Amino acid sequence: MSFLPPLLLLILPLTTFPLNLYDSTFHISPSSPSSSLPKCPSPTLLSTHQSLNITRGIAIQPASLGTNHGYLTEFLTTTPSYRGVMLFDPASPTGYELDNLDSLSSHGFTGVRINAALFGVNGVPPISQHDGLARMIKRCGVLGYPVSLLAMKGYHTVHSDFLHLLTTSPNTKFLIDHYGFNKLNTPSGDKGFAQMLTTALDSGNIGVKASAGFRIRRDVPYGVDPSVKWTGGMWDEFYDELEGERLEPAFRTLGGGRVMWGTDWPWVNEGQGMGVEEVSVGGRRGNTVGFVNSLLLCRVLTHTTSLTAGG
pLDDT at 85 (0 to 100): 92
Q: Please list, residue by residue across 230-257, b when 16 or more beta carbons sit within 10 angstroms of its beta carbon and e when fewer do.
A: bebeebbebbebbbebbbbebbebbebe
Instruction: Supply the CATH number for residue 73's domain.
Output: 3.20.20.140
Q: Which residue has the higher pLDDT, 40 or 232?
A: 40
The winner for highest mean pLDDT among 130-134, 156-160, 256-260, 283-287 is 156-160
Which residues, 6+ apart, have CB-to-CB distance to 113 below 8 Å? 60, 61, 85, 86, 87, 88, 147, 148, 149, 150, 177
Query: Is the residue at 304 inside a domain?
Result: no
pTM of the full structure: 0.81
> What domain count does the chain have?
1
Query: Is the residue at 306 inside a domain?
Result: no
Query: Is the residue at 308 inside a domain?
Result: no
Which residues, 6+ apart, have CB-to-CB distance to 97 below 8 Å? 67, 86, 87, 88, 89, 112, 136
Instruction: Tell how strand 147-150 and strand 54-60 pair up.
Output: unpaired
Angle separating helix axes 159-168 and 131-143, nearest 10 degrees: 50
Helix, coil or strand: residue 50: helix
Query: Is the residue at 152 inside a domain?
Result: yes
pLDDT at 241 (0 to 100): 83
Of all residues in the chain, the percent with pLDDT exceeding 90 is: 29
pLDDT at 12 (0 to 100): 37
Q: Which residue has the higher pLDDT, 237 or 138?
A: 138
State how far the alpha carbon of 58 is from the alpha carbons of 88, 132, 213, in Å. 16, 24, 18
pLDDT at 189 (0 to 100): 94
Domain that holds residue 208: 6-299
Write the pLDDT tens digit of every residue in 184-220.
989 999 999 999 999 999 998 999 998 877 788 776 6
Query: Is the residue at 88 inside a domain?
Result: yes
Q: Which residue has the higher pLDDT, 169 or 42?
A: 169
pLDDT at 279 (0 to 100): 32
Average pLDDT, the chain: 74
**Mean per-residue pLDDT, 98-117:** 82
pLDDT at 286 (0 to 100): 32
Query: Is the residue at 305 inside a domain?
Result: no
Q: Which residue has the higher pLDDT, 37 or 195?
A: 195
pLDDT band at 25 (very low <50, low <70, confident <90, very high): confident
pLDDT at 269 (0 to 100): 57
Query: Is the residue at 27 inside a domain?
Result: yes
Least confident of 91-105, 188-202, 223-237: 223-237
Write the pLDDT tens digit of every residue in 141-189.
998 899 999 999 999 999 999 999 999 999 999 999 999 999 998 999 9
Query: Is the residue at 17 inside a domain?
Result: yes
